[in-house]
A and B are shown apart, each in its own frame.
Chain A
Amino acid sequence: MAVVDKQCKCGSGTPARNPLIPYVATIEKVVDEAESGSVRNFFVTIDDREVHDSFSYIPGQCGMISVLGVGESMIAYASTPTRPGPLEFAVKAAGRNTNALHELRAGQKVGVRGAYGNGFPLEAMKGKNIIYVAGGIGMSGLRSMVNYSLDRRDDFGRIQVVYGARTRGELCFKEDLFENWPKAPDTSVHLTVDVGDETWDGPVALIPPYLESLDPSPEGSVVIVCGPPIMIKYTLISLDKLGFRPEQIILTMELKMQCGIGICGRCNLGSQYVCQDGPVFTLAELETLPDEY
């Protein structure tokens, strides 16, 4: 039980570095991802080039982005490791830090650290059809994985993106939704809105009934769900009706997080720490945890 000094596993071969200290990073550009302007995507490069170039992550993992003087937010990477370049954080202004972030422009500095969490089970998903089901800003949690699966198209079966938002203006990653993804091979994009208007000629429906009307087959498929709690709740009921088993349903969780490394205690859920052991869980795994999220 003697305490033996160890090196942190967070850096490859580098001396222990305090994982809570962010790297200085520069905002390269800011892109409005929704027509309403509510979601901004920050393209960020870590100033230490060596660190940036060796930065590794997989879809579903999260990073901490800081506005120094305001705070830090845990955000799923919206970029994919298959496309080297800036890290992307697509952020909706919801709290103090994300509101402050929305004020920042290209050229300004932020703090960045990560990558945290388990990410999507890429090996287990190989060869499977993937059905992505997202609600609202939940798309930012899936966009990395969608692009990853399109870049490694041969690794996966049929790809379906089912996405709903309150209005057309809230649909996030509009260029991907309307331009890029529909053109990809064996890929379909199904969009719906809660409230239609004169600019919208697609379906007007909530996600669960819309998903049921699409009648996706559970055969050889996995479904990944990300969205607000109420959408998840009813989507799970629909997936059960459609015949999906809990092992086929993958969710990416959100709880309050401040450290990202499993030590500040906020995201404790039963025996798990969501920031480290999650944020990605199958429904079968979640069913073994307290229903408290």
Chain B
Amino acid sequence: MTATPFPTGKVLRLPGSSLDQLVQAALRAAGDGAVLYAPVKSGETWTWDVVAPEAAPQAEWWTRTVNTDLSPKNAMMPQTEDIATWRNRFRDLEIIEPPPPPPAVVLGLRPCDAASFDILDDILYDGEFMDETYRTRRMRTLLLTWACARTGPACGCDAFDLTPAATAGDVMIYPDGDDLLVAAVTDRGGPVLDHLAQGGGARDATVDEMQQVAGALAAQTTEIGRRVKLDDLPIDKPGEGPPQAFGSAIWDDLAPRCLSCGTCTYVCPTCYCFAVNDEPRGSDGRRVRTWDSCQYKDFFTMAGGHNPRPSKVERVRQRFMHKLTYHPERYNRWLCVGCGRCVVACPVGLHIAEVGAVLAEAMRQLGPAKEGDLDGSGR
């Protein structure tokens, strides 16, 4: 689990006041009919939505704000989305694929959030089957990643092998005083810089000065990152014994606090579980997928009523172990970017990095599995 190096291609310096030029360049690069996702305030909540380019926040917003309250995952995976619609359900059934989504630009997502899409790719994109609507959006969406000039009290990217300036998305934006240094990360990010260079507001900058700025931003640490070390977490090797942490007593201690509200999974940029439901209207209707949560009681309930995870102990364990051990066992990276949203949102203060630390400590105390120790948990 190592960090991706800084970009080495073309770099431009743009006054922060000319951010609109970058937006226009990106929309042109994204293609005809491209829409812009940007932070928007809904009530008291900062979230992401499609906005008119002139309604996007100014550059100061990114200086002022650590991050949005909700993650930008809705740009790639809307909270509710049609899988298909149908007509005449029993006689002349016709199943109709929805029209493809328009190309899009996501402006100013933080490195942790941009990295979350790389993590989701492992699951939704690189398996035997692909999440086709995710794939389509991913192919048509340009991610403009805005490195963090400061970190917040709930931030913990550095506990999860990332930094406040981790390279992710298609274009990196590094704040440098009142200026922005803009660098292409991917091949698809290149044309954004070409269009920006033509706009006249930007001037050339060197990779050296960019890397100096990026390096200083990346060197910032978080309180959580300084305190929590997850290196001792027991990541199992595929096919070798039952998960070591599964039988740990910590789950019995943590679970009673959980309220099963599911807000942790709702705000999480890497939680991808969804539900499929039919909404009939007479003999027509639509099949929709919506975000769902492993913390809800009936998430795992089967027809006939059997539920393999009937109590909070199993469900809390499932969420933390999925993120901290099961997923790393399979993909060699955390299913968490340390964005801190669940830490802020959880009404009872279940803190993923701290749970990781408690788990690591509990496993350390047990020592290596003993002979005859059935599940390796020491219990």
Whether, in the assembled complex, A3 has its beta carbon less than 8 Å from a beta carbon of chain B, the answer is yes
Closest residue to A20 on the B side, CB-wise? B83
Query: Is residue B258 within 8 Å, beta carbon to beta carbon, of the partner chain?
Result: no
Given the complex, which residues of B lie within 8 Å of A264, measured CB to CB?
273-276, 289, 292
Residue of A nearest to B96 (CB): A21
The answer to whether B130 and A3 have CB atoms under 8 Å apart is: no
Bound together, the chains give a CA A156 to CA B238 distance in angstroms of: 31
Q: A22 touching B95 by the CB < 8 A rule?
A: yes
Chain B contacts for A289, CB-based, 8 A: 242-243
CB of B276 within 8 A of CB of A258, answer: yes
B127 touches A24 (CB 8 A): no
- Chain A residues with CB below 8 A from B309, complex form: 292
Known contacts A9-B128, A255-B308: does B299 contact A266 (CB below 8 Å)? yes
B204 at the interface (CB under 8 A from A): no
Q: Are A2 and B95 in contact (CB under 8 A)?
A: no
Contact with A along B290-328 (1 / 0, CB 8 A): 001010000111111010110000100010011000110
Asked whether A288 is an interface residue with its Cβ less than 8 Å from the other chain, the reply is yes
Please tell me if the beta carbons of A71 and B273 are within 8 angstroms of each other in the complex. Answer: no
Are B89 and A3 neighbours in the complex by a CB distance under 8 Å?
no
Chain A 246-267 interface residues, beta-carbon cutoff 8 Å to B:
254-256, 258-259, 261-266
The residue in B123, B129, B294, B329 that gathers the most chain A C-beta atoms within 10 A of its C-beta is: B129
Q: In the complex, which residues of chain A have a beta carbon less than 8 angstroms from the beta carbon of B292?
A: 264-265
Q: Decide if A24 touches B186 in the complex (CB within 8 Å).
A: no
Which size class do A's interface residues fall under? 35 or more
A21 and B326 form a contact (CB under 8 A): no
Q: State whether the Cβ of B4 lies closer than 8 Å to any Cβ in chain A.
A: yes
- Separation of A73 and B314 alpha carbons in the complex (Å): 24
CB pair B304 A3 closer than 8 Å: no
A232: interface (CB < 8 Å): no
Contact A69 B272, CB 8 Å, known A104-B90, A256-B300, A263-B131: no
CA distance A39 to B375 in the complex (A): 39
Q: How far is the CA of A113 from the CA of B166 in the complex (A)?
A: 40
Closest to B87 in A: A68
Contacts of A9 in B (CB 8 A): 128-129
Chain B 320-354 interface residues, beta-carbon cutoff 8 Å to A: 321-322, 326-327, 329-330
The answer to whether A265 and B278 have CB atoms under 8 Å apart is no
A24, B95: Cβ atoms under 8 Å? yes
Query: B residues 237-286 with Cβ under 8 Å of A?
Result: 238-243, 246, 272-278, 280, 283, 285
B90 to A, closest residue via Cβ: A108
Q: Mark A1-14, 1 if CB is under 8 A from B, else 0.
A: 11101101110000
Judged by a CB distance under 8 angstroms, whether B132 is at the interface is yes
User: A293 near B308 (CB under 8 angstroms)?
Assistant: yes
A69–B285 CB distance below 8 A = yes
Taken residue by residue from 118 to 151, chain B's Cβ proximity to chain A (1 for < 8 Å, 0 otherwise) reads as: 1001011101111111010011000000000000
Once the chains bind, are A263 and B272 in contact (CB under 8 Å)?
yes
Given A264-B276, A265-B273; A108-B91 close (CB under 8 Å)? yes
Task: Sample 5 A-B pairs with CB under 8 A, ordered by A number.
Answer: A68-B86, A69-B285, A229-B306, A285-B239, A290-B242
Which A residues contact B (CB, under 8 angstroms)?
1-3, 5-6, 8-10, 16-24, 68-73, 94-98, 104, 108-109, 111, 229, 254-256, 258-259, 261-266, 268, 270-272, 276, 285, 287-293
